[in-house]
Amino acid sequence: MSHVFHRDSRGSPPVAVGGLGIYLVDSQGRSYIDASGGAAVSCLGHGHPEVLSAMAAQAEQLAFAHSSFFTTEVAERLADAIIEQAPAGLDKVYYVSGGSEAVEAALKMTRQYFIEIGRPSKHRFISRLQSYHGNTLGALAVGGNVQRRKPYQPMLMEVSFIDPCFAYHFKRDDESEFEYGQRMADQLETEILRLGADNVAGFIAETVGGATLGAVAAVPGYFKRIREICDRHEVLLILDEVMCGMGRTGTMFACAQEGITGDLITVAKGLGGGYQPIGAVVVSGRIHEAFVRGSGAFMHGHTYLAHAVACSAALAVQTIIKEQHLLERVNETGRYLAAQLEQRFGGHAQIGDIRGRGLFRAVELVADRRTKAALDPALKLHSRVKAEAMRRGLCVYPTGGTIDGVRGDHVLLAPPYITSVAEIDMIVERLGEAVDAALAAALPTRAGSADRTATVT
Ligand code: PLP
């Protein structure tokens, strides 16, 4: 009997006992390809010897010194390494221990910034539906994932939501991609004007939609328009790159591919690659300067921020990515993965969309490719695919509610940057088998039929 309060309170997952490279091993000796890096975390895979020895060396020298008393060499060096690769204008790194904490800190920093510059009425946040920003109460309040919000709704601060930029489902036939993007971005301006710009502090968006939408990049021009609107109304732009940042989409910061930057960018997951819990808010020099000139202190903080061993793990991960030119590999292997997914699923009756950037890819399941209608949510295709994949020694990250929080299923892939082409072939092969097995079990009467049109909702 386990005393662990597991995510699924009725079950106990397999016991992971080891990991090496892109593989995880359980206590039964079964091995799994970690094709989603957990939830887009393990960017260098498991058991990387250089990361482990950096952590051991740091632990021996100094594991922890509280950040209200000291800084550490390793925290300083990691911040230098992050800023060296950050978009122009970003100059400071505020450390935390994960993605939700990074979002909480970004929200509070945005709010306090406006107090520091004498604009205390600015306090409201605008976000997007179908977003995910974390599970702590502030992060959950700005999250647009209806299922995750539901039980806590009465406890959440008031936030405005605009539509996500999700062309596959929501672009109209009579508009170009560009026009669609402008229309979506303009919703932000409408909402700012409705609330009154003097009341709005920030807009938060995932640069590439991850956990809820499944690797959905915006159409060209969308984020440029968002940036213009934020500037026009003095609203800070918080880009949440907890999942899509740190090289996952092929550039260290995902926003580099949009030709814009955020005023604050949240990162976590790939920062420490799962070797230690660590996240950060990468902040513009202008915002930091307002604190210097104002009260001097950010009214926030956690005990473990800038933890020395966590910083040492992240510094080792980021050094390896840079020295081994792994971003080139993310781009090359990402293109190969996209091509293999296209080959395996491009003509599949129940796969409507194959999308993503770099090693951040997803396939979306549909009942009907032509109408893009979702499969019946009651079939829980995403859970079935996960179980079938694990049965075949493959970890992927499927989610339901892709379209509106209820309808839609997708499978997210985020393999480690070190994944080889041969391993990509194995991932796609096992995923293909898992998807087909899940569909055959869920839609037995249609199994094997070339023009299978499943229950439409
Ligand atoms: N923001 C984004 C975009 C995420 O994808 C996640 C987690 O999936 C979070 C924030 C929350 O991060 P954490 O689970 O580390 O608290």
Query: 98 CB under 6 A from ligand 1?
Result: yes
Contacts 24+ apart (CB under 8 A), 184-187: 184/222, 185/222, 185/223, 185/225, 185/226, 185/229, 186/225, 186/229, 187/162, 187/163
Low-confidence stretches of the chain (pLDDT beneath 70): 446-457
From 97, 269, 278, 282, the mutation candidate for ligand 1 (largest count of ligand atoms within 8 A of CB) is 269
Query: 128 CB under 6 A from ligand 1?
Result: no
| Ligand 1 center–CA 69 separation, angstroms | 29
Query: 210 CB under 6 A from ligand 1?
Result: yes
Over residues 329-367, the pLDDT tens digits come to 999 999 999 999 999 999 999 999 999 999 999 999 999
At 343 the pLDDT is 98
3-class DSSP assignment, residue 375 = strand
Query: 268 CB under 6 A from ligand 1?
Result: yes
At 452 the pLDDT is 44
Nearest atom, ligand 1, residue 244 CA:
3
Q: List all residues 6 or more positions away from 143 whose beta carbon is below 8 Å from its beta carbon.
A: 127, 131, 132, 133, 134, 149
At 444 the pLDDT is 82
Query: 54 CB under 6 A from ligand 1?
Result: no
Burial 251-260 (b: 16+ CB within 10 A, else e): bbbbbbbbeb
Can you point out the beta strands (E) in 370-408?
A: 394-395, 397-400
From 132, 136, 206, 212, the mutation candidate for ligand 1 (largest count of ligand atoms within 8 A of CB) is 132
> What distance in Å separates the CA atoms of residue 246 and residue 77, rounded to the nearest whole number?
16
Over residues 28-59, the pLDDT tens digits come to 999 999 999 999 999 999 999 999 999 999 99
| Ligand 1 center–CA 430 separation, angstroms | 27
Closest CA to 194 of 126, 117, 146: 126
H helix runs in 150-294, sequence order: 167-170, 177-195, 222-232, 285-293
Query: 278 CB under 6 A from ligand 1?
Result: no
| Ligand 1 center–CA 107 separation, angstroms | 14
Q: List all residues 6 or more positions away from 32 whose beta carbon is below 8 Å from its beta carbon.
A: 23, 24, 25, 26, 390, 393, 394, 395
Over residues 206-260, the pLDDT tens digits come to 999 999 999 999 999 999 999 999 999 999 999 999 999 999 999 999 999 999 9
| Ligand 1 center–CA 98 separation, angstroms | 7
Nearest atom, ligand 1, residue 279 CA:
15
Could you tell me what percent of the chain has a pLDDT over 90? Answer: 96
Query: 240 CB under 6 A from ligand 1?
Result: yes
| Ligand 1 center–CA 39 separation, angstroms | 9
Nearest atom, ligand 1, residue 266 CA:
1
> What distance in Å separates the CA atoms of residue 249 and residue 244, rounded to the nearest whole number?
6
Q: What is the DSSP string of 154-176?
A: GGSPP-EEE----HHHH--TTS-
96's enclosing H/E stretch is strand 90-96
Q: What is the DSSP string of 14-51?
A: --EEEEEBTEEEETTS-EEEETTHHHHT-TT-B--HHH
At 455 the pLDDT is 45
At 454 the pLDDT is 45
95's enclosing H/E stretch is strand 90-96
**pTM above the 0.85 mark?**
yes
Nearest atom, ligand 1, residue 101 CA:
16
